[in-house]
């Protein structure tokens, strides 16, 4: 039975469960069987909640029989990232040896909302230590592989979630995105990933409620269909009084937007943000994929964003800003009696420890100076919409195809250090995603095609709070260039 529902969408599963012609117990059992058969190869799940999931599935089935009001994800299995995406009472390691047995007492806001909508959490998925890079590997569990080539990485930092969806272990999964961590693994695992406008998905992080602003950190869906992402986001969005950076709910119809046409839509295409070296193979795939918008009735123009700083400077900015975030977290851990650098330096992934040490002497003045550069990036992206009048900005998601996993056992799989003869930062410099975390715009990665049998992603960026246009363009692309038959047979 393990393959019965392997590639059935969450929307279809939820509909059939509500009608009573499909048992959530059967669906959960099928997913757990597939996890048992496949997870050893791809290393997506690090914690599996088999008994708890079956119990919740039985409760879900009973609710259907009783004719109760059912949530939009009633009985649908889901995976949750093993980072700051807590589920109360479940081990949450953050991919870090010092946190190998940490168990949170409270669920993250969006995890709670997904469960309240009826989703059944099957387990937690792999991530690099503290989510610090665009690949998924750590000392605790090792690397996560893309199902398209088990020797290559799924991307990060939500790599476990993306790989689980791509390999049919679950229909949908939750990820988080502080530099592209939903969109990067979506690209390398051949799935769809969406990052909403900053503030739409409340987070309520403690002890630092303002932590997610540096750079903007988002929670979002990883799915095989655009419709499923819209369904998930409808559930996840909304303010939380404990999150001072969450925004009031606005009327929206994400699922309706997916079905909307894009005739007359004006698309700006930047193959490299003017500054990123991009592998010729990736460029060729995305150059071809962007023409699908023209097929759907949109116009496409190649544009220049006019950035005055190079990609190495922007990567350094991201590392400094994410370093500020980590140091806020590290200070919080110290308050709980855990000194990561003082007592656990040798337990950390080497490049994560290096990042902490290299950024710990930053001052508030340094941080505010960096915000000037971040403002330049924001203006360059926002001008595409408010000055140039475009409805959508399209770029490659990543500059390279999936990289090979490191087999050294110390969690050191990273991206390339050079592309087309130009040096790039191996943690993040090959990702065209992190500039959009500086700005907070809505963005998605959509499967664009393949090179040498490996998936390539295309990034779609919308104006702030115009998440619906990103969904509309994604849905139109999916209809013109469907990818659902591309997943490797297992």
Q: For residue 405, give both structure tokens.
A: 């996993």
Catalytic residue flag (residue 445): no
Catalytic residue among 81, 87, 124, 195: 81
Cα–Cα distance for residue pair 470/442, rounded to 1 Å: 7
**Per annotation, catalytic residue among 181, 246, 270, 474:** 181
Joined together, the tokens standing for residue 80 give 């949750």
Distance between CA atoms of 286 and 450, rounded to whole angstroms? 10
**26, 6 in Cβ contact below 8 A?**
no
Contacts of 97 by beta carbon, 8 Å cutoff, 6+ apart: 139, 140, 344, 347, 348
* Distance separating alpha carbons of residues 80 and 167, to the nearest angstrom: 15
Helix (H, G, I), strand (E, B) or coil at 214: coil
Q: Spot the catalytic one: 9, 107, 145, 157.
A: 157
End-to-end CA distance of the chain: 13
Helices first, then strands: H and E counts in the chain: 16, 15
Contact 132, 49 (CB under 8 A): no
With vertex at residue 264, the alpha carbon angle to CA 263 and CA 268, rounded to the nearest 5 degrees, is 115
**Is 176 a known active-site residue?**
no
Identify the bridge partners of residue 192 per DSSP, sorted by sequence position: 223
User: CA 401, CA 135: separation in Å to the nearest integer?
Assistant: 12
With tokens 């569990």, the residue in question is 141
Paired residues of 446 in beta bridges: 458
Q: Give the active site residues.
A: 81, 157, 181
């Amino acid at each position: 039975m393990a393959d019965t529902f392997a590639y059935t969408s969450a929307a279809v599963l939820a509909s059939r469960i509500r009608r009573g012609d499909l048992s959530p117990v059967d669906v959960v059992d099928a997913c757990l069987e597939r996890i048992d058969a496949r997870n050893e190869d791809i290393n997506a799940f690090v914690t599996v909640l088999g008994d708890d999931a079956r119990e919740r599935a039985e409760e879900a089935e009973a609710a259907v029989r009783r004719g109760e009001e059912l949530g939009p994800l009633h009985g649908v299995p889901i995976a949750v990232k093993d980072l700051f995406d807590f589920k109360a009472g479940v081990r949450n390691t953050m991919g870090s040896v010092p946190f190998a047995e940490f168990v949170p007492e409270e669920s993250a806001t969006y995890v709670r909302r997904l469960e309240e909508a009826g989703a059944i959490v099957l387990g937690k998925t792999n991530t690099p230590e503290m989510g610090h890079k665009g690949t998924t590997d750590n000392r605790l569990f090792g690397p996560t592989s893309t199902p398209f080539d088990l020797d290559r990485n799924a991307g990060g930092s939500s790599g476990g979630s993306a790989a689980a969806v791509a390999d049919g272990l679950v229909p949908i999964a939750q990820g988080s995105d502080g530099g592209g961590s939903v969109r990067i693994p979506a690209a390398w695992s051949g799935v769809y990933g969406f990052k909403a406008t900053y503030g739409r998905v409340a987070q309520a992080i403690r002890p630092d409620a303002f932590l997610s602003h540096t750079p903007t950190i988002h929670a979002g869906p990883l799915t095989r269909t655009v419709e499923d992402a819209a369904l998930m986001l409808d559930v996840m969005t909304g303010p939380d009084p404990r999150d001072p950076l969450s925004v009031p709910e606005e009327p929206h119809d994400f699922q309706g937007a997916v079905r909307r046409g894009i005739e007359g839509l004006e698309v700006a295409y930047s193959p490299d943000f003017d500054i990123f070296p991009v592998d010729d193979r990736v460029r060729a795939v995305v150059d071809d994929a962007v023409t699908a918008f023209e097929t759907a009735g949109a116009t496409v123009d190649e544009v220049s964003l006019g950035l005055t700083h190079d990609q190495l400077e922007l990567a350094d900015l991201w590392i400094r800003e994410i370093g500020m975030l980590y140091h806020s977290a590290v200070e919080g851990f110290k308050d709980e009696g855990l000194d990561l650098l003082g007592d656990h330096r040798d337990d950390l992934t080497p490049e994560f420890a290096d990042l902490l040490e290299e950024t710990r002497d930053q001052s508030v003045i340094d941080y505010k100076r960096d915000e000037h550069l971040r403002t330049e990036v924001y203006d360059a992206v926002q001008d595409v919409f408010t000055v140039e009048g475009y409805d959508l900005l399209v770029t490659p998601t990543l500059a390279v195809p999936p990289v090979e996993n490191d087999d050294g056992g110390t969690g050191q799989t990273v991206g390339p250090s050079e592309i087309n003869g130009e040096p790039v930062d191996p943690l993040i410099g090959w990702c065209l995603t992190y500039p959009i975390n500086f700005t907070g715009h809505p963005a998605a990665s959509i499967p664009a095609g393949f090179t040498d049998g490996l998936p390539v992603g295309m990034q779609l960026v919308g104006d702030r709070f115009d998440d619906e246009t990103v969904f509309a363009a994604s849905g139109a692309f999916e209809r013109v260039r469907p990818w659902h038959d591309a997943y490797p047979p297992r």
